Amino acid sequence: MIQGPASLPELTVLQRARGAGRIAVVADGPTTRLARLYQDGCGKIRLPRDASAQGLEAVLINSSGGLTGGDRMAWTAEVGAGAQLTLSTQACEKVYRARDGVAEQRVAVTVGDGARLDWLPQETILFDGGALSRRLEADLGEGAELLAVEAVVLGRTAMGETVRVGALHDRWRIRRAGRLVFADDLRLDGPIAEVTAKAPMLAGGRAFASMLLLADDGQRLLAPLRAALGPTGGASAFDGKLFARVVAADGFALRQALLPALEVLRDGRPLPRVWRT
């Protein structure tokens, strides 16, 4: 008797990382104080003491060590009127090869009247076959300021890594008093190495970053920001918004471009300690 082909074994269902963190701060005179803190799963928040910091600094940690298909991370921040908060990450976020599914990260922030939030995560490293969908949503009050930065490294060149295929979707939606004032969608999908080699994309660059400052007087920083970014970056200012992108050959070159650019955008505020060590 002829038997048919044996059925293929089902893929083992793997445990997925789940993490969430929420922080709320309020102004107490000239001081910013913690009002609420919540953390769940692999999402952790630490509050380092830094005498040089203006406002409060919080460091976000993904204790799972990275993201892969099916993982979910969610961060939420509320900055009360007149308060100042800087959010960064303990290290670069690594997005590993996805067997199936897409890693998702959601960031939602609310910045009260006259308050300021700086969203300064360290670089995201996308590995070959990695897939990430990331969303940043911000609601700003009157006179509120927001500095948002997202940096991406396509493989570690020092380790001989090349991102041949993968997926990255970065979606930003910024509102002031309920009105949409800035939207950006960045998507890389499929043969990333082939696409980014083209001149209209990254011209062979392996790292890039997007930077946005919403501030009434942000336009005065346009010239120094362009000077800091150099020939591989570009910036424009319009309607209270200062937006820039920079491309670099690798992660090290990107960091060398980001540090002076962030110093300009921070306008005298020292960078978080995690960026200085």
pLDDT, tens only, 154-165: 988 878 888 899
| Cα–Cα distance, 173 to 116 (Å, whole number) | 17
Least confidently predicted of 78-82, 97-101, 204-208, 239-243: 97-101
pTM of the predicted model, to two decimals?
0.92
Of 91 and 159, the structure prediction assigns the larger pLDDT to 91
Least confidently predicted of 108-117, 136-145, 155-164, 247-256: 155-164
Mean pLDDT on 70-83:
97
Question: Cα 201–186–245 angle (5° rounding)?
Answer: 60
Residue with tokens 């070959």: 128
In this structure, what are the phi and psi dihedrals at residue 49, rounded to the nearest 5 degrees?
-90, 125
Kindly give the interhelix angle for 251-266 and 222-229, rounded to the nearest 10 degrees: 160
Domain ranges in the chain? 18-276
Tokens of 200: 């209209």
In the chain, what percentage of residues exceed pLDDT 70? 94
- pLDDT recorded at residue 51: 63
